[in-house]
Homo-oligomer: A and B are copies of this chain.
Amino acid sequence: MTDTSFLQRLTEKVGPGAIFTAPHDIAPWLSDWRGLYAGHAQAVVRPASTVEVAACVSLCAEARVPIVPRGGNTGLCGGATPDASSANVVLSLDRMHAIRNIDIIGNTLVAEAGCILGNLRRAVADEHRLLPLSLAAEDSCQLGGNLSTNAGGVNVVRYGMTRELVLGIEAVLPNGEVFNGLRTLRKDNTGYDLKQLLIGAEGTLGIITAAALRLLPRNDVRVVVLAAVESAPRALDLFKLVFEQCGHRMQAFEFFTAECVDLVLAQSDGVRAPFPMRHASYVLVELADTVDETALRALTEDVIGTALERGLCADAAVSESIAQLNSMWKLREEISEAQRADGTHVKHDVSLPVASIPAFLVSAGERIRKYHPAIRPIVFGHFGDGNLHYNLSRPFGAPDDYFAQHGEALTAEVLDEVARYGGSISAEHGIGQLKRDYFSQYKDPLEIRLMREVKQLFDPRGIMNPGKIF
């Protein structure tokens, strides 16, 4: 499938140092970081500018060569892994990592797609601004991938998804044209907002090369509350109370069950049980403000006092220091790692109307128990957004490959239940390759048809990240 004259021309576009074709050079680019997906490619190109990206895409378009855009490769759905075709060209944005502008008057950041999210967060923090997008992979994921997957994370309850932070994008369309939408305006009602199509499109409609984002003031005053809640309805009540009283200060409202804590205590070093007693579930709330730690702490203690008084939580601790705050977060953050150490799990990233979470947990739990009474749901997530990572541990003593046989049936149980409550089968991870079949099964056929028509409009040759979403 390798076409020498095509590869020669591609090499001319980016220079010989920015293209790999030897199998051992391209091998690291052919799979996802978890090793769940693997594909093939004839080359990996690493253009250094938008002009070079456009030149590569034009050439691929002309030759009808499929392109797989690649960011930090931290996705969980195989969206940046090529499919089985050896004709693929993987196009990595990693060399486009310039911060083009930080404007602390208009509070905007313009940065290229290959920038590491954590680096951007630190760069704007130095200017006393906040880029509120924050997720576990922030020190390896790239901005282009964040936009292409409409990344979520722990602070969505306050700041929204990536989409809500984007003011403008620059992108190369599947025919090689450059979409120059890198505006920094908060208000611009001039026709259809086309950039919205590229955000969350997982590279199937074009390649985002740069973005303009809104920045916020730094909220350096932070307090974390860890609360033991006896049930999901009590967690809802607590959410309502904090939402009404603390308003915008609430920047995380996380939930996890006793089973999550059991796993972390068993698998992770340096983590201690949060309370003298084991409780059915836990809530972690982070509150933050620009100024006045005393006032924030007083408000927090007042609200938690009310919650304890009303029986919304059984026990609660308020962080007294940054060290304590971090150790409270550690309990939540270690869950994924502890799961990995525990062996294979079936994972689901679902969302529900927040008020339906308790009913969903009951009815989904029943379905799982009916399937096998010893499967352990490991449920945690961004409760305030209705986003649960509804994962399943194999029964104690079951072989490590238990889910090879049972995973698909169990996923059907979970997703059917999600659909019944009007939820989403992918809250923040996207579709990629992983959820393509579920997408076609659960999404409204009219929406799928319209999406396919939009795809056809933007990419009539079908060269942009084939096999993803559809």
Binds B, one of A290-298, A365-373, A392-400, A402-410: A290-298
Are A443 and B191 within 8 A (Cβ)? yes
CA distance A157 to B205 in the complex (A): 31
**Chain A, 344-364, contact with B by CB distance < 8 Å: what is the 0/1 string?**
000000011111000000000
**Chain A, 439-450, contact with B by CB distance < 8 Å: what is the 0/1 string?**
100111011101
Looking at the assembled complex, report how far the CB atom of A190 sits from the nearest CB atom of chain B, in whole angstroms: 5
Looking at the assembled complex, report how far the CB atom of A51 sits from the nearest CB atom of chain B, in whole angstroms: 16
Binds B, one of A87-95, A158-166, A223-231, A256-264: A158-166
Looking at the assembled complex, report how far the CB atom of A359 sits from the nearest CB atom of chain B, in whole angstroms: 12
**Residues of chain B contacted by A424 (CB below 8 angstroms):** 183, 185, 187-190
Q: What's the number of copies of this chain in the assembled complex?
A: 2
Are A199 and B194 within 8 A (Cβ)? no
**Residues of A85-142 contacting chain B, CB below 8 A:** 103-108, 128
**Residues of A159-186 contacting chain B, CB below 8 A:** 160-161, 163-164, 177-181, 183-186
Determine whether A245 belongs to the interface, using a CB cutoff of 8 Å to chain B: yes
Looking at the assembled complex, report how far the CB atom of A361 sits from the nearest CB atom of chain B, in whole angstroms: 15
Determine whether A243 belongs to the interface, using a CB cutoff of 8 Å to chain B: yes
Given contacts A189-B149, A197-B197, A428-B189, contact A453 B457 (CB under 8 A): yes
**Residues of chain B contacted by A239 (CB below 8 angstroms):** 105
Most buried by B among A205, A427, A435: A427
A contact residues, total (Cβ < 8 Å): 92
**Residues of chain B contacted by A103 (CB below 8 angstroms):** 353-355
Are A185 and B386 within 8 A (Cβ)? yes
CA distance A219 to B181 in the complex (A): 35
CA distance A291 to B241 in the complex (A): 13
Given contacts A106-B386, A164-B160, A187-B152, contact A192 B181 (CB under 8 A): no
Given contacts A179-B446, A197-B197, contact A245 B291 (CB under 8 A): yes
Looking at the assembled complex, report how far the CB atom of A298 sits from the nearest CB atom of chain B, in whole angstroms: 9
Given contacts A244-B290, A290-B245, contact A190 B443 (CB under 8 A): yes
Are A194 and B386 within 8 A (Cβ)? no
**Residues of chain B contacted by A414 (CB below 8 angstroms):** none
Are A353 and B185 within 8 A (Cβ)? yes
A-B contact pairs, 27 of them (CB 8 A): A105-B240, A106-B354, A108-B353, A150-B189, A161-B186, A178-B446, A180-B446, A184-B353, A185-B351, A185-B353, A185-B423, A185-B427, A187-B351, A189-B430, A190-B442, A191-B431, A191-B439, A191-B443, A192-B451, A192-B454, A194-B447, A196-B197, A216-B248, A245-B290, A248-B249, A292-B295, A454-B457
